Amino acid sequence: MVNGKFIWCRNCGDIHHVSAFDRAPIFEFSVGEVTEVPANDWRNFMARHASHKLEPLVATGNDYWSNGSAADPMSVVYVEATNGKETLVLRRSRRSIEEPVHYEIVEGRLVETGLRLEVQEREIRKEMKLHHSWSPAAPPGDDKIDLFVALFREVVEGLDPQRVRTGEYSYTDENVSYGHLDPAVVAALLARCDSYFSPLELESIRRFVEAHRDGCDVMTLIKRRLVAIDQHAQ
C-alpha cells in the first residue's frame, strides 16, 4: 500500500511525493571514487514552483499495483489521493531504474470490479509429484494428477469469491490473498473425484487435501482482486 502525502502544482501538473527519502543523498562515481552529494527533493520542488499554486494531497489508502508486485521497482502503481474536496488517481511510473519515479494524474477513479478465484495448479502438481506420500495407494501418473486438478477447478468455478474466507495475504502480490478451503468444498471435491479414483486413491487424495488447505498452502484458493480505472466515475 502506498501511504503518505503529496504536493500537487495546479499550474503545471507536477506532483511530489513527500517521503522520508526527500533528504537521501546522491552518490556520484568518478575515477573509482564515490562522492556523497546532499539533496533535499522537497525543498527543490518548492523552489521550482515558488510562484505556482500548490495543493496538498493525501493518499486514501486505496491503490493498485498493475503487475501485483510491490517489490518490483519498475512496477506501475495507481494511487488514490484527495485534496479534501475531490479524489484523484495518480499514476506512478519510471522509464528506467536509474530515473526517479514520476507521478501524473489520470482521469477516473479506482473501482474494484470483483474477485476472481484461481487454483494453484502448478503448486498442486509439484506437491503431488515430489512430496506427497500416496501410501497405501500407488503414486498417480501425470494423467491422474491432471484429472484431479481439472475436477478441483470445476468445483472452484461454482464458488462465490465473496463467501470464501480469507486466510492469509500474499507477500509478493498486492492483489492476492488466499482463501480457506471449507469442509463443504472439500466434501464436494471428494464427491466429484469418487467416480474417477479407486477407494485407496480417494483416501490418499483426502489426506492430501486436508494436509494442504490452510494458510497459503497449495490447496488454498487464490483470491485475486480485480481493479479498473473507471473514467466515468467522478
* Surface-to-core class of residue 11, CB atoms within 10 Å of its CB (0-12 exposed, 13-18 middle, 19+ buried): exposed
Beta pairing, strands 77-82 & 176-179: unpaired
Instruction: State the pLDDT at residue 120.
Output: 97
Which of the residue ranges 33-37, 39-43, 76-80, 152-156 has the most confident prediction, judged by mean pLDDT? 152-156
- 104-136 per-position pLDDT tens digit: 999 888 988 899 999 999 999 999 998 787 877
Residue 27 is predicted with a pLDDT of 64
pLDDT tens for 133-192 read 787 788 889 999 999 999 999 999 999 999 999 999 998 888 899 999 999 999 999 999
CB 64, CB 175: distance < 8 Å: yes
State the chain's mean pLDDT as an integer. 87
Q: What is the mean pLDDT of residues 202-229?
A: 93
pLDDT score recorded for residue 67: 74
Q: What pLDDT does 1 receive?
A: 52
Q: How far is CA 172 from CA 71, 72, 223, in A?
A: 7, 9, 14
Q: Exposure string (b/e) for 59-75, b if CB count within 10 Å is 16 or more?
A: beebbbbeebebeeeeb
Percent residues over pLDDT 90 in the chain = 55
- pLDDT given for residue 73 in this prediction: 79
pLDDT over 80 (residue 25): no
Per-residue model confidence (pLDDT) at position 68: 63
Choose between 22 and 203: higher pLDDT.
203
| Domains of the chain, residue spans | 5-106, 114-227
Residue 8: the pLDDT is 94
- The secondary structure of the chain as a DSSP string is ---SEEEEETTT--EEEE-TTTTPPEEEEETTEEEEE---HHHHHHHHTTTS-EEEEEEEEEEEETTS-SS-TT--EEEEEE-SS-EEEEEEE-SSTTSPPEEEEESSEEEEEEEEEE--HHHHHHHHHHT---TTSPPP-HHHHHHHHHHHHHHHHTS-GGGSPEEEE-SS-TTEEEE---HHHHHHHHHHHTTTS-HHHHHHHHHHHHHTSSTT-TTSEEEEEEEEEETT--
User: Does residue 31 have a pLDDT over 90?
Assistant: no
Q: What is the pLDDT of residues 54-74, one digit of tens each?
A: 999 999 988 888 776 666 778
